[in-house]
A = this chain, B = another copy of it.
Amino acid sequence: MKAYGSLSRDELLSLRQDLEKKYEGAKAKGLKLDMSRGKPSAMQLDMGMEILDTVNSSLPATSEDGTDCRNYGQPDGIKEARELMGSMMGVLTENVIVGGNSSLSLMYDMVSRSMTHGVMGSTPWCLLEKVRFLCPVPGYDRHFAITEHFGIEMISIPMNPAGPDMDQVEKYVSEDAAVKGIWCIPQYSNPQGISYSDETIRRFAALKPAAEDFRIYWDNAYVVHHIYEEDQDVILDILSECEKAGHPDMVYEFCSTSKISFAGAGICAVASSKGNLDDIRKSLSLQTIGPDKLNQLRHARYFKDLDGIKAHMKKHAASIRPKFQAVLETLKNELNGLEIGSWINPKGGYFISFEAMPGCAQNIVSLCKEAGVTLTGAGATYPYKKDPNDSNIRIAPTFPTAEELKQATDLFVLCVKLASVRKLSEQ
């Protein structure tokens, strides 16, 4: 295929005419599809239904140590759930607190607590002139929404193939005491599916922050979320790397079973040093009389251990792999050589990140929307929803059925072509 940029004006106009016509045809189909969020499909959720049978009226609702999981108490979570979540993150049980159904809440609470109470005795951030967070881009919109909500200034850091640009991270963190945190999704990042290299992670652990209360927000959301059986990424354990580097308190690690068991009814966890966990406990003990221990018990009984989780995630992989492959195949077949977009073939996670020609992302998303396919809003992957190049689009292939996905992707590539040719023909 010939690159659009090399077409003559006549060729462009003729192509445009052709694409406009096709697009009108596509609109006439009256699609109504949602590819906006990284949601597991009903089929994936079905795979975990037996989790719900592990706690019922015929079974004792006691954890291994005899705790009545129906009653109040145990703000850290039950031991077997802490073990399970710890094993997933590769950290010791004593470094883990297990919570309710949302790791996002844990992150929100962490920022909120830092605003009102500081971090391990530091000045509450709400009393500071300026608080900044580093935001690798493209990144996760809900991370950015939390920091924006608290009036924290966000600084974009470009993502490279091995993780965030560490030269920039090091410079900001070591020189600016207002930089209090960085959002990271270290394995199969949202949306690019990039895993941080060992070198990147060691450079994180070796950071020398100007602020004593600087923390790495390490959202290990996709730690067991591989797409392929063989070709899987493994990343270093940030907690032990930070400890080795003499900075045991520098990181909070988060994970959840939202995309393992049930998106709305899983369990979540935070792992960190004793110092940080004790700091968290001070608020947590006032905030709740304990998490939902019955749901923790369900998960611990069903999965048993890391092997149980891995076996379960193989089923998920088998279900989502064809979806990722279908999208990637269409992108390749339809767009290769046209030089109007690029994308990464992810090995895990929930997204495919697409880079359109600069200035085209919003148009593409609007065109899709108009023809009945909702994508994540263009710009969502950047702080303040402002993609300076207007080029990144996040594709979420997991939720739709295979048939829906095919229709949606066909429409997507058509809209990419149309938006690009409009742009080029108007220059």
Q: Measuring CB to CB, which residues of chain A are less than 8 angstroms from any residue of chain B? A: 37, 39-40, 42, 45, 48-50, 52-53, 55-57, 61, 68-74, 100-102, 104-105, 108-109, 112, 115-117, 124, 126-127, 142, 145-146, 149-150, 258, 262-265, 282-283, 286-295
The complex places the Cα of A70 from the Cα of B48 at a distance, in Å, of 10
Q: Are A286 and B108 in contact, with the CB atoms below 8 A?
A: yes
Chain B nearest CB: distance from A35 CB in Å? 14
A295 neighbours in B (Cβ, 8 Å): 265, 292, 295
- Of all chain B residues, the one with the shortest Cβ separation from A104 is B288
Residue in B42, B126, B292 whose CB lies within 8 Å of A265: B292
- Of all chain B residues, the one with the shortest Cβ separation from A73 is B264
Q: Are B264 and A72 in contact, with the CB atoms below 8 A?
A: yes
**Known contacts A40-B71, A71-B40, A264-B292; A104 and B49 CB within 8 A of each other:** no
The 17 listed contacts between A and B (C-beta, < 8 Å) are A49-B61, A53-B56, A53-B57, A56-B56, A69-B265, A70-B264, A70-B265, A72-B263, A102-B287, A102-B290, A108-B287, A145-B286, A149-B283, A262-B294, A264-B293, A265-B294, A265-B295
Q: Are A286 and B72 in contact, with the CB atoms below 8 A?
A: no
- Of all chain B residues, the one with the shortest Cβ separation from A100 is B100
A52 neighbours in B (Cβ, 8 Å): 55-57, 61, 294
Q: Are A104 and B264 in contact, with the CB atoms below 8 A?
A: no
A287 neighbours in B (Cβ, 8 Å): 102, 104-105, 108-109, 146
Can you name 14 extra interface pairs (CB under 8 A) apart from A71-B262, A265-B295? Answer: A40-B71, A52-B55, A56-B56, A71-B264, A72-B264, A100-B292, A102-B287, A102-B289, A108-B288, A112-B112, A116-B150, A146-B286, A292-B292, A295-B295
Q: Are A39 and B69 in contact, with the CB atoms below 8 A?
A: no
Copies of this chain present in the complex amount to: 2
Q: Are B104 and A101 in contact, with the CB atoms below 8 A?
A: no
Q: Are A102 and B288 in contact, with the CB atoms below 8 A?
A: yes
**Known contacts A105-B287, A294-B265; A45 and B57 CB within 8 A of each other:** no
A55 neighbours in B (Cβ, 8 Å): 52
Question: Which 4 residue pairs across A and B have the least CB separation, nearest first?
Answer: A49-B57, A265-B294, A70-B262, A102-B288
Task: Identify which of A112, A145, A286 gathers the most chain B CB atoms within 10 Å of its CB.
Answer: A286
The complex places the Cα of A42 from the Cα of B67 at a distance, in Å, of 11
A57 neighbours in B (Cβ, 8 Å): 49-50, 52-53
A149 neighbours in B (Cβ, 8 Å): 117, 282-283, 286
Q: Are B289 and A263 in contact, with the CB atoms below 8 A?
A: yes
A109 neighbours in B (Cβ, 8 Å): 287
Q: Are B68 and A42 in contact, with the CB atoms below 8 A?
A: yes
The complex places the Cα of A109 from the Cα of B416 at a distance, in Å, of 43
- Of all chain B residues, the one with the shortest Cβ separation from A151 is B116
Q: Are B263 and A70 in contact, with the CB atoms below 8 A?
A: yes
A42 neighbours in B (Cβ, 8 Å): 68, 71
A108 neighbours in B (Cβ, 8 Å): 286-288
The complex places the Cα of A52 from the Cα of B150 at a distance, in Å, of 38
The complex places the Cα of A366 from the Cα of B142 at a distance, in Å, of 50
Q: Are A264 and B126 in contact, with the CB atoms below 8 A?
A: no
Chain B nearest CB: distance from A321 CB in Å? 20
The complex places the Cα of A330 from the Cα of B357 at a distance, in Å, of 82
A263 neighbours in B (Cβ, 8 Å): 70-72, 289
Q: Are A116 and B105 in contact, with the CB atoms below 8 A?
A: no
